Amino acid sequence: MKIFLDCSDPELIASAYETGLIDGVTTNPSLMLKAGEDPMHVIKEISAIFPWNASVSAEVVGETAEEMLDMAQDYLEIGPNITIKVPCTVEGLKACRELADDDVHVNVTLIFSTAQAILAAKAGATYISPFVGRCEDNNINGIELISSIKKVFKLNSITTTSILAASIRSIDHINNSFKAGADIVTLPPKIFEEMYH
């Protein structure tokens, strides 16, 4: 059972990491750009907080697998704790397969169905990220989705892909995600603080 912080603020991340309870980070480049930050610089700062065997998800964007792979190479030069985050699209999964074949850790994000989770696992994903809150926005039970993925993975002996519950909006989301079989939950700093109370 692991807890990741879903955050792109190095100061907040460093403060949470000092608790000894944070195992990794997921980041969002669009939020960094909105804040006027250079994603490469921010990822370098965050990577320096964590040991080499942690996971710092750096998201790549592009229309093609080649564009995503080019961007991934820049991030991978930062250090061994970088995980490349790709979308669950045809091109994203092509990029995932190539990266996984090179022993790069990959987080396939935007998972909204068990079928997508199966494809991501087949593509060699280290992590798959079902979006609990975003599922609920679309009248899909995000917790049941995690449970369904866990069942399929267990029945088919898929042990190399971890379920990383994302889009967490409440303490109940955390509790229920772990009850449903999530291996990791990534949550905003505010929700992490609420866990203490």
- For residue 48, the SS3 value is helix
Q: Read off the amino acid at residue 97.
A: R
- The residues assigned a catalytic role are 85
Contacts of 118 by beta carbon, 8 Å cutoff, 6+ apart: 152
Residue 48 and residue 41 in contact, taking contact as beta carbons nearer than 8 Å: no
Compute the CA torsion angle 17, 46, 66, 115 (nearest 10 deg): 20
What's the CA gap between 4 and 25, in Å, rounded? 5
What's the CA gap between 87 and 110, in Å, rounded? 6
Nearest to 84 by CA among 112, 126, 48: 126
- For residue 91, the SS3 value is helix
